[in-house]
């Protein structure tokens, strides 16, 4: 059904380097599938890392009601961080290899259908978090997944199979470090393989690190995995891909609004899969209902 009011501005921010579907012509898809009686589109291309945040801030300042990240979770993160505290909503055209936030939000991976969802313009508020002041919207983590993000950042290969190969290679040499997690008034000290912070339920590619995570409840799900051997790591991998990790004795879950971690040695960490550096101290905070998105979420989920 066509809208009767004037079309509102929708700015599409496209990362030409993202994902494995680079042959797709996004401008053609937009002109073929976007309802121009609802949205007046503008398409901008990113030129470097971090550029999407600047473009999103400018689009919001110029009155775009909708700012659409066209890329993977890295691009989504950059656009979303530019929109926090503005009156522009985030849309996603998933073009990455993992698309964790898009999947959690029920956004179709097929781009014509994702554009159809933008036409419906169903707005929802979602939570966001920070790890050492770096915003994230999907997941962040310390330990093995931090290491993987750092190695993946240097790799030119994308896609699930390259990712799995890299995980297997890095696992052989990874050493869990002792850390203390302070959560809900408790102190938990161990050699942690992974400490994961989940605003959304999955890393991407339907790898569910916190299947119960609710992105609108004002709480993050923290998944603690202590030092593991090869057989246990395989069990965990299976649990991730089958949504069964919550039933594994290898993973411990907590929900909270803030959590801190102190590590003896510097640890790699990531926010939304992007490598953020190394640190010994981590503060992770929750910002309830801090970002408006177009999504296919149930009204009260």
Ligand X SMILES: Nc1ncnc2c1ncn2[C@@H]1O[C@H](COP(=O)(O)OP(=O)(O)OP(=O)(O)O)[C@@H](O)[C@H]1O
Closest contact distance (angstroms) between CB of 154 and ligand X is 12
Q: Which is nearer to ligand X, 73 or 127 (CB)?
A: 73
Q: Which is nearer to ligand X, 18 or 130 (CB)?
A: 18
Closest contact distance (angstroms) between CB of 153 and ligand X is 8
Q: Under the rule (CB under 6 A), what is the footprint of ligand X? A: 15-19, 46-51, 71-75, 78, 96-99, 158, 204, 273-274
Closest contact distance (angstroms) between CB of 15 and ligand X is 4
Q: Which is nearer to ligand X, 261 or 291 (CB)?
A: 291
Q: Which residue is nearest to ligand X (CB)?
A: 72
Closest contact distance (angstroms) between CB of 97 and ligand X is 4
Closest contact distance (angstroms) between CB of 60 and ligand X is 18
Q: Which is nearer to ligand X, 53 or 290 (CB)?
A: 53
**Distances in Å between the alpha carbon of 251 and those of 3, 100, 157, 191, 246?**
48, 20, 30, 13, 7
Q: Which is nearer to ligand X, 204 or 239 (CB)?
A: 204
């Amino acid at each position: 059904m066509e809208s009767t009011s004037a079309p509102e501005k929708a700015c599409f921010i496209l990362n030409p380097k993202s994902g494995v579907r680079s042959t797709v012509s996004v401008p053609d898809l937009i002109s073929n599938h976007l309802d121009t009686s609802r949205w007046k589109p503008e398409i901008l291309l990113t030129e470097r890392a971090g550029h999407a945040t600047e473009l999103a801030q400018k689009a919001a300042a110029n009155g775009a009601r909708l700012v659409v990240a066209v890329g993977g979770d890295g691009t989504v993160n950059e656009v979303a961080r530019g929109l926090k505290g503005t009156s522009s909503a985030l849309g996603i055209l998933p073009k990455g290899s993992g698309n964790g936030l898009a999947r959690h939000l029920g956004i179709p991976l097929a781009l014509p259908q994702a554009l159809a969802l933008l036409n419906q313009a169903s707005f929802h508020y979602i939570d966001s978090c920070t790890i050492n002041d770096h915003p994230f919207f999907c997941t962040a983590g310390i330990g093995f997944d931090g290491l993987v993000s750092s190695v993946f950042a240097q790799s030119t290969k994308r896609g699930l199979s390259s990712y799995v190969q890299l995980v297997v290679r890095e696992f052989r040499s990874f050493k869990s470090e002792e850390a203390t997690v302070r959560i809900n008034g408790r102190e938990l000290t161990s050699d942690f393989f992974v400490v994961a912070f989940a605003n959304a339920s999955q890393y991407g590619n339907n790898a569910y690190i916190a299947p119960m995570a609710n992105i609108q409840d004002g709480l993050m799900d923290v998944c603690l995995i202590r030092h593991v051997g090869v057989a246990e790591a395989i069990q965990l991998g299976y649990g991730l891909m089958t949504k069964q990790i919550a039933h594994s004795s290898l993973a411990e879950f907590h929900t909270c609004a803030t959590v801190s971690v102190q590590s003896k040695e510097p640890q790699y960490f990531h926010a939304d899969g992007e490598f953020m550096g190394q640190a010994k101290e981590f503060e992770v905070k929750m910002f309830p209902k801090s970002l408006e998105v177009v999504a296919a979420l149930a009204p009260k989920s």
